[in-house]
Amino acid sequence: MEMQEAPAKAETEDKEKRAEKPKQEAKTEDEANQEQYSTLLSPSEEIYSEAFHATKPPQELPGNARLYRAVCAFLLVICLILLAVVVILGMKRAACEKCPRGWIAYRNYCYFLSTLRLNWDNSQSNCTKVGGSLAVIESQEVQNFLSKNGKLNYWIGLKQDQSEWKWNDNKMLEKSYWKSNPGNGDCALLYSRDPAEKNWAKISCQAASYYICQIEY
C-alpha cells in the first residue's frame, strides 16, 4: 500500500514543479522588463556625462585666438588708411573743382601762371578781368609754393609807390625775398628758378614778362 502511494506522490510533486517553472520564467522576464524600464526613466551618470561632452562646444586654442585678433587689428588699420586716403583725395578734388580750368589751388586761393608776356599794368588788368589780381605773397609757404610750381619769371602784385613798396591791395610790404642785387625798377618780378629765399627782383614796370594771377575761393 505504501509502495503504491510513493510513486503517486512523486508524480504529483513532479507535476507541481512543472507547473511552477513557467511562472518563475514569466516572473524573471517581467523583472527584466521592469529593470529596463527603470533604466530608461533614470539614465545613469555615464549617459549624462557622455551627452555633456558631446554637446560641449570645442574650446579655441590660445594661438588661434591671438591670430584672429591680429588679423582683425590689421584689417582695421587697412580700413583706416583707406578712409584717410579717400578723405584726402576728396578734399583735393573739392579744391580743384573750385578753381577754373588751368589754375592750381593752394589754401584758399587759385593761382594762374601765365604763358603770355605783358607789362605790369596789363598783367594786373588781365587778372582783374577774371575776378582776381596779381599774386600777393604774404607768407613763406605761398612763396615756396609759387617758386616750386613756376618755371619762368613772373610779375607779382608788388609795386613801389613813392619809395614804399605796397601790394596791389594797398597793404605795406612786410616780409620780402629780394635778391642780393635786386635792381632799381618799380615793380617786383619773381624768378622761380632761383632759391625761394631770395628770388625777387626790382624791374621796370614797362618790361614784358609772364605773370601770376590769384583769385580767392
Same domain, 84 and 116: no
pLDDT of amino acid 44? 55
The CATH number of residue 197's host domain is 3.10.100.10
25, three cell numbers: 520564467
C-alpha cell of residue 33: 522588463
209 and 115 inside one domain: yes
Assign 3-class secondary structure to the chain: CHHHHHHHHHHHHHHHHHHHHHHHHHHHHHHHHHHHHHHHHCCCHHHHHHHHHHHCCCCCCHHHHHHHHHHHHHHHHHHHHHHHHHHHHHHHHHHHHHCCCCCEEECCEEEEECCCCECHHHHHHHHHHCCCEECCCCCHHHHHHHHHHCCCEEEEEEEEECCEEEECCCCECCCCCECCCCCCCCEEEEECCCCCCCCEEEECCCCCEEEEEEEEC
Q: How far apart are the first and last CA of the chain?
A: 146
| Residues 113, 87 share a domain | no
In sequence order, which residues have a C-beta less than 8 Å from that of residue 132 and are 6 or more positions away? 110, 112, 213, 214, 215, 216
Q: What predicted TM-score, i.e. pTM, was given to this entire model?
A: 0.57
- Tell me if 162 is assigned to some domain: yes
CB 211 within 8 A of CB 155: yes
Whether 42 is in a domain gets the answer no
Q: Is residue 12 part of a domain?
A: no
Co-location of 88 and 112 in the same domain: no
Question: 116 and 209 share a domain?
Answer: yes
The answer to the question of residue 84 being in a domain is: yes
Angstrom distance (rounded) from CA 135 to CA 217? 14
Please check whether residues 121 and 208 belong to one and the same domain.
yes
The verdict on residue 178 lying in a domain is yes
Among residues 103, 189, 107, 93, the alpha carbon closest in space to that of 149 is found at: 103
- Determine, yes or no, domain membership for 108: yes
* pLDDT score of 98: 84
- Does residue 107 share a domain with residue 68? no
Range of the domain at 162: 102-214
Each residue's pLDDT, cut to its tens digit, for the chain (217 residues) gives 444 555 555 566 666 666 555 555 545 555 655 655 555 555 555 555 555 555 555 555 566 888 888 889 999 999 999 998 888 876 665 555 689 999 999 999 999 999 999 999 999 999 999 999 999 999 999 999 999 999 999 999 999 998 899 999 999 999 999 999 999 999 999 999 999 999 999 999 999 999 999 999 8
Number of domains in the chain: 2
Inside any domain, residue 15: no
| 122 lies in the same domain as 70 | no
The whole-number pLDDT of residue 80 equals 92
Could you tell me if 70 and 116 lie in one domain?
no
d(CA 133, CA 112): 10
